[in-house]
């Protein structure tokens, strides 16, 4: 199988996208899409996966699909370069999931650390929907259906890509080289791999309500930044502060460039100098937060402007999703033809199979005929 350079990634439509998505996933995809290094790029809105834990709130998913699409387009995901599509419109993904389910054990699924922490977060430890427990398998189908060799995503996706690699390995060893082996592509900076929440929790997440959304206006960003958790031992300006594990400094590492210092905070040439001062003492949290709000607003400003324009033509956004879904389906259909062939369930395509079966039954009938004739002859003698 010739391996093209293909990336595949996506997001759950469980709300609008936040700045964790931007640094952890979207920024990278836009760079890859524009790099010219990839033959095909797929970006999926994972509505079926979102229903595994939002099955009682389909309206939320329905509303969020267009929000996520608007976030993509305003961040620069370009439908001429990337296929943007909706998961539920590609039935081949669910067929592939079914085949993969035979290759994974229940105990393996229960060991997935991301799923475990999500179960805790959602109070699902006592009773977990089967669909939710199996979503890493369905995600393996999403990745392999598009022959992706690269999955640009945040750190929480490492167990999913590992599970996918195991499935690919098992499938290819059992049925012959059929599926492409994917690799996770993490953001370079540690701060971007898993951006913490405003509340200092380990991950900014739509489900935890601790986010700055890409569509938040300037004032909302300022207000949210002011409520941020910082160093709890830094009580007065004179106190020595800690920059490690301090969300304000983690966000600055993720977003602030030297040019932001020159424009908004010329007292300091760069982040190292600011960190040094904070650690020495004599620098207040409010001052640093004001700077952080300016930096985030500077990054979000062009995104918000583009979003506003796109919101004036919502039918065009749905058209992009519909056309993308058709293109994505074409690709998944090709992979599934290969998969069915490998699994020997391509009964109606394989003309040789019919010929072989015709011959087999003919021979069987002939053998029976010969046996009958032989027995009749024996009886006579
Ligand atoms: P949900 O709470 O519904 O799971 P989420 O905020 O975790 O939502 P997803 O749609 O699950 O978002 O994740 C989409 C992509 O964004 C994945 O590649 C994931 O790794 C990345 N991502 C999500 N949150 C963060 C974060 N805080 N930091 C870095 N990357 C993130
Ligand atoms: Mg998530």
Mean pLDDT (the chain, rounded)? 95
Question: Cβ(198)–Cβ(208) under 8 Å?
Answer: no
Q: Where are the beta strands (DSSP E) in the chain?
A: 6-11, 40-45, 83-86, 150-152, 183-185
Quote the pLDDT of residue 174. Answer: 98
Could you tell me the distance, in angstroms and rounded to a whole number, from the CA of residue 10 to the centre of ligand 1?
A: 9
Identify the nearest ligand to the CA of 12 by its number: 1
- Stretch 326-339: mean pLDDT: 98
Compute the distance between CA of residue 25 and CA of residue 156 in angstroms, rounded to an integer: 11
Model confidence at 149, in pLDDT bands (50, 70, 90)? very high
Residue 276 pLDDT > 90, yes or no? yes
Give 359-373 pLDDT, tens digit per residue: 999 999 999 999 999
Structure tokens at 268: 């300091």
| pLDDT classification of 55: cutoffs 50, 70, 90 | very high
CA-to-CA distance for 312 and 310, rounded, in angstroms? 5
Q: Choose the residue to mutate in 48, 68, 121, 205 for probing ligand 1, maximizing ligand atoms within 8 Å of C-beta.
A: 205
Q: Is the pLDDT of residue 255 over 80?
A: yes
- Residues in contact with ligand 1 by the CB-under-6-Å rule are 11-12, 14, 20-21, 24-25, 153-154, 156-157, 194-195, 203-207
Burial 81-99 (b: 16+ CB within 10 A, else e): ebbbbbbbbbebbebbbeb
Percent share of the chain, pLDDT over 90: 91
Task: Report the helix count and the strand count for the chain, using DSSP H and E.
Answer: 18, 5
CB neighbour list of residue 19: distance below 8 Å, 6 or more residues apart = 195, 204, 211, 212, 213, 214, 251, 254, 255, 296, 299, 300
Average pLDDT over residues 277-286: 95
**If pLDDT is split at 50, 70 and 90, which confidence band does 176 have?**
very high
Interval 181-188 mean pLDDT: 95
């Amino acid at each position: 199988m010739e391996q093209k350079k293909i990336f595949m990634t996506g997001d759950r439509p469980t709300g609008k996208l936040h700045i964790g998505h931007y640094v952890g996933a979207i920024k990278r995809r836009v760079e890859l899409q524009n790099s010219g290094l990839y033959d095909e790029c797929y970006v999926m809105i994972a509505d079926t996966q979102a229903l595994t834990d939002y099955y009682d709130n389909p309206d939320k998913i329905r509303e969020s699909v267009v929000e996520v699409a608007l976030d993509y387009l305003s961040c620069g995901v370009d439908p001429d370069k990337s296929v943007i599509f909706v998961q539920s419109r590609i039935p081949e993904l669910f067929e592939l999931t079914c085949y993969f389910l035979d290759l994974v054990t229940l105990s393996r699924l229960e060991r997935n650390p991301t799923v475990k922490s999500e179960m805790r977060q959602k109070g699902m430890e006592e009773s977990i929907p089967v669909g939710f427990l199996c979503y890493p398998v369905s995600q393996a189908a999403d990745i392999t259906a598009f022959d992706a060799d690269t999955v640009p995503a945040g750190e929480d996706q490492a167990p999913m890509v590992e599970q996918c690699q195991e499935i690919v390995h098992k499938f290819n060893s059992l049925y012959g080289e059929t599926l492409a082996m994917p690799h996770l592509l993490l953001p370079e900076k540690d701060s971007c791999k898993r951006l913490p929440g405003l509340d200092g929790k380990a991950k900014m997440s739509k489900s935890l309500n601790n986010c700055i959304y890409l569509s938040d206006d300037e004032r909302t960003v300022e207000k949210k930044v002011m409520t941020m958790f910082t160093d709890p031992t830094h009580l007065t300006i004179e106190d020595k502060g800690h920059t490690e594990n301090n969300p304000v400094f983690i966000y600055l590492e993720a977003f602030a460039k030297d040019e932001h210092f020159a424009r908004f905070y010329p007292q300091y040439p760069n982040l190292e100098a600011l960190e040094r001062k904070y650690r020495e003492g004599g620098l207040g949290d409010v001052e640093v937060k004001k700077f952080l709000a300016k930096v985030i607003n500077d990054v979000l400003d062009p995104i918000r402007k583009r979003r506003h324009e796109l919101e004036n033509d919502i039918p065009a956004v749905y058209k992009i999703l519909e056309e993308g879904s058709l293109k994505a389906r074409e690709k998944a259909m090709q992979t599934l033809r290969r998969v069915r062939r490998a699994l020997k369930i391509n009964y109606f395509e394989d003309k040789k199979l019919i010929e072989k079966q015709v011959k087999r039954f003919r021979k069987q009938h002939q053998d029976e005929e010969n046996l009958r004739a032989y027995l009749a002859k024996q009886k006579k003698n």
